[in-house]
A and B are shown apart, each in its own frame.
Chain A
Amino acid sequence: MNAAFTFYATTILVYLGVDILAVWSLNLQYGVAGIYNFAWIMFQAVGAYTAGVLTLGPATGNGGFQQYILGLRLPEPLPLLAAGVVSGALALVVGIVALRRLRTDYQAMVMLVISVIAVLVIENVTGLFNGPAGLSLVPQPFGSLPLSSLGYQWFYVALTAVVCLIVYLFVHRVTSSPLGRALRATRDNEDAAQALGKDVVRLRLFVFVLGGAIAGISGAVLIQFIGAWSPGSWAYVETLVVLTAIIVGGTGNNAGVMLGALLVPVAFNEATRFIPQFGRPGLVDALQWIVIGLLALAFLWFWPRGIIPERRRRFPGTPAVSAQLADPGEVA
């Protein structure tokens, strides 16, 4: 296995890790709690920007070609943690304002418009995060370690894996506990959950913040790997990719959405790398988006539950069970 391929494979693994964090976070919000967060990408972006301006040195460095706030050159894992905190805080603010009793498509529109506003603001207030050009030359964490570039790749894979494991601990705790059950109940029937004493507002806000924080962490991991981040990376349509991954993999199922992350953002995006670029430049990318759109439509029609649907929870010590019927219709 030659070095170039290994380099490529480790890069893919890091992307996969980031996408896994992404699907877990949106799955908590949408799959488990039934929140129509079409602004998801904004939280990943804010996390990336936060980590970026905390890892970078002062803006005057590197010839001062970028403008941005802060620039504190903090050591790991502070930028990562800060990214989670800032994204979580943003989610708290957005959640308090926007998580209301709206019909689901209006809710999606509110979220979508909020993320569009965010892009516009950041593009126009150039002093924040360097406007349309975005941040670049973000230093790699632990860059001073004596590692070859390939060695560093593996190191970063390990780093990503550790982050994923820690995040999974929390995600699993939520989904496998009565808290997760209460969230799913509010998803299935908000009024009934409220009548049974569940504080729907507080529950939803909690999961929105947790999901936002994880999204921010995913952004931090990504920006510190790639070294750059610009508004082009987070148009509202990117949320659709994550959403498609969830729909394909299995809404509500942590393992299912991991599969979705593997299939949609990773395998699918990367498959095009192996297809020779034919036609005019950008044609393959356009075809790629067309296929993602078709994939979303196909799954919404044929398999709205996804490949690995939410699993049926059983409890030990069950008496004889009757024949198991299939999962009732989708809630989306």
Chain B
Amino acid sequence: MSLSVEQERQRAPGDEALLSVAGLRREFGGVWAVADATFGLRRGAITSLIGPNGAGKSTVVGIVGGAIAPSAGRVVFDGADITGLPPHQRARIGLVRTYQLSSEFGRLTVLENLLVARPGQHGERIRTLLYGKRSWRRQEAELVDQARVLLDRFAMSGMEDEYAGNLSGGQKRLLEIMRALMCQPKLLLLDEPMAGVNPTLAQKIEGYLAGLAAEGLTMLLVEHELGLVERLSESVIVMAQGKVIATGTMPELRARPEVLHAYLAG
């Protein structure tokens, strides 16, 4: 496994990648959706993953998130090889992703959607059957407080008791992000968070993400809108036809002919 030259330059001494993938490959029905992907994500930074449609970005996110098993390659998170780790355990170790499609729990309220997001709750263990409310009441109260803080931050306090299924598309998107944050992630995978969102809300989300980055949350952002990518991310990974073809800052990438050829001109 080797990091690209650009990434070597960006790394400050002693600054390890929170996540690194090496030699990822994934085949679907005879087609290599991911033919070779190797990159690292610096801690505390927003890294964007861009590329034309069919480049394999969603598959890479799926592999990192654990929903898709790679045909080859490794995923290392916070020093540990998690390649074989099932998705539900990745959330528990702090690797959380959001989805392009709505995945709210429609018949739970907004607040409940947030509460259910925290992994490892006392009250979710089967022994609740025996011990009853005493065993989870306190943690629940703490979770409610934390959820309300989030709701306030994202300006959705008034929606707390609303059924998540009744929210507008934009509100669902915010819920998605808040829910991911309830997991207290170390790394947040955002799969096209602005897709189908109106410009006003997109701007708000951009602001929220910048704020989270400022607080030190590591993020991998899959996005199409290059202006947003440039504003938000320190480092950009470009994929085309299943391979990582370049990494660097946007200005650096603009100057590279292979990137222009594969993506920016196409």
Contacts from A to B (Cβ < 8 Å): 170, 173-174, 176-179, 181-182, 184-185, 187-189, 191-200, 206, 210, 252, 310, 312-315, 317-322, 324-329, 331
Contacts and interface: CB of A to CB of B under 8 A. Distances in A.
Contact of B115 (A176, A178, A321, A325): A178
B203 to A, nearest CB: 23
Given A194-B88, A312-B109, 14 more contacts: A173-B132, A185-B105, A187-B107, A188-B105, A195-B88, A196-B88, A196-B116, A197-B88, A197-B119, A321-B161, A322-B158, A326-B166, A327-B107, A329-B165
Interface-central residue, A176, A177, A312, by most chain B CB under 10 Å? A177
B160 A319 contact: yes
Q: Name the prevailing secondary structure of the B interface residues.
A: helix
A322 B162 contact: yes
B4 interface: no
Interface in B90-116: 91-92, 96-97, 99, 103-109, 111-113, 115-116
B163 to A, nearest CB: 5
B206 interface: no
Contact of B89 (A184, A185, A197, A200): A197
B162 A324 contact: yes
Given A188-B108, A195-B88, A312 B161 contact: yes
B136 A325 contact: no
B158 A181 contact: no
A196 B179 contact: yes
Contacts of A199: 88
Interface-central residue, B148, B159, B162, by most chain A CB under 10 Å? B162
Interface-central residue, A179, A200, A314, A327, by most chain B CB under 10 Å? A179
A181 B119 contact: no
A184 B109 contact: no
B67 interface: yes
A195 B91 contact: yes
B126 interface: yes
21 contacts: A174-B129, A178-B122, A178-B124, A179-B123, A179-B125, A184-B107, A188-B107, A192-B103, A193-B116, A195-B87, A195-B99, A197-B89, A206-B126, A310-B107, A314-B109, A314-B161, A321-B160, A322-B158, A325-B166, A328-B107, A328-B166
A93 B148 CA distance: 42
A198 B99 contact: no
Contacts of B166: 325-326, 328
B117 A196 contact: yes
A317 B159 CA distance: 14
Contacts of A197: 88-89, 91-92, 119-120, 183
B49 to A, nearest CB: 19
Given A195-B67, A312-B109, A324 B183 contact: no
B144 interface: yes
B108 A195 contact: no
Interface-central residue, B88, B144, B163, by most chain A CB under 10 Å? B88
B121 interface: yes
Contacts of B123: 177-179
Contacts of B136: 177-178
Given A178-B136, A185-B105, A328-B165, A313 B65 contact: no
B124 A182 contact: yes
Nearest to B93: A197
Given A189-B105, A194-B88, A195-B91, A181 B116 contact: yes
B140 interface: yes
A326 B163 CA distance: 8
Nearest to B107: A188
B146 interface: no
A206 B129 CA distance: 11
B53 interface: no
B145 to A, nearest CB: 9
B10 interface: no
B158 A320 contact: yes
Contacts of B104: 188-189, 192
